């Protein structure tokens, strides 16, 4: 009888059980447990796998709780790889490996991103081909919006509406200025509407230069 395939770590643990213990310890903030299983995987030659799991966890288990998280983990992974490529006998890459682990352990946690996949994909399957395009989508940038006579005024009043707006200095002032500026710019002759010969000459010059 053929034995079932089993992938073992350096100390004889089942690889998949070790990986599961690692991620679930991170979720619970169990530092000693998480570090033990991470080091077991590291010393067994599965460093790339641990980094892969950390890149998954930063969205799966942290997500919106710390939006800067993916940039932090990706940066640490990049530094780790730079040092690892140099084969420095002092092994400085462990600093950045552990830094990433400790960041995940201490990070505020949220499962919202992972949960959102289930909720919104199931909604898409139920409503695809049935859900109607909302009226606010029909603005000057769509054929239907143009047929409805919707122009710049409609776009500024409806198409540009935003939720959860940040307070940015002078934005309200610039919105008023931009509305007039857009009307002015839209009235200008479109590029390429000059003399045909001039356009061909310009194209020839660009062709020679580039």
Q: pLDDT digit string (tens) for 57-89?
A: 999 999 999 999 999 999 999 999 999 988 767
Q: On the CB side of 13, how many CA atoms lie within 13 Å of its CA? A: 19
CA separation for the pair 8, 25 (Å, rounded): 20
Q: Average model confidence (pLDDT) for the chain? A: 91
Please report which confidence band the pLDDT of residue 4 belongs to, taking 50, 70 and 90 as the band edges: confident
Q: What is the pLDDT of residues 146-188, one digit of tens each?
A: 999 999 999 999 999 999 999 999 999 999 999 999 999 989 9
The pTM of the full predicted model, rounded to 2 decimals, is: 0.79
Domain ranges of the chain: 15-106, 131-162+172-188
CB 25 within 8 A of CB 37: yes
Mean pLDDT to the nearest integer, 112-137: 97
pLDDT score for 201: 61
Q: Which two tokens stand for residue 147?
A: 């047929």
pLDDT surpasses 80 at 1: no
Please report which confidence band the pLDDT of residue 197 belongs to, taking 50, 70 and 90 as the band edges: low
Give whichever of 2-11, 131-140, 197-206 has the largest mean pLDDT: 131-140
pLDDT score for 190: 79
Closest by CA to 139, choosing from 117, 161, 172, 118, is: 161
Percent of the chain with pLDDT over 90: 80
CATH 1.20.272.10, domain 15-106, yes or no: yes
């Amino acid at each position: 009888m053929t034995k079932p395939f089993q992938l073992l770590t350096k100390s004889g643990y089942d690889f998949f059980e070790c990986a599961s213990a690692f991620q679930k310890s991170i979720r619970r903030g169990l530092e000693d447990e998480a570090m033990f299983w991470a080091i077991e995987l590291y010393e067994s030659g599965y460093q790339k796998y641990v980094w892969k799991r950390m890149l998954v966890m930063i969205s799966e288990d942290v997500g919106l709780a710390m939006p800067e998280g993916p940039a932090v983990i990706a940066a640490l992974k990049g530094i780790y790889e730079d040092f690892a490529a140099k084969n420095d006998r002092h092994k400085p890459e462990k600093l950045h490996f552990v830094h990433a682990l400790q960041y995940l352990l201490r990070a505020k946690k949220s499962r919202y991103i992972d949960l959102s996949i289930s909720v919104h994909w199931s909604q898409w399957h139920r409503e695809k081909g049935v859900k109607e395009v909302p009226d606010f989508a029909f603005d000057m940038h769509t054929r239907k919006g143009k047929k409805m006579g919707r122009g710049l005024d409609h776009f500024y009043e409806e198409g540009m509406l935003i939720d959860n707006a940040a307070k940015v200095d002078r934005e309200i002032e610039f919105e008023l200025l931009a509305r007039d500026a857009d009307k002015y710019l839209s009235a200008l002759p479109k590029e390429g509407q000059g003399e045909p010969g001039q356009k061909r000459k310009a194209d020839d010059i660009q062709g020679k230069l580039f």
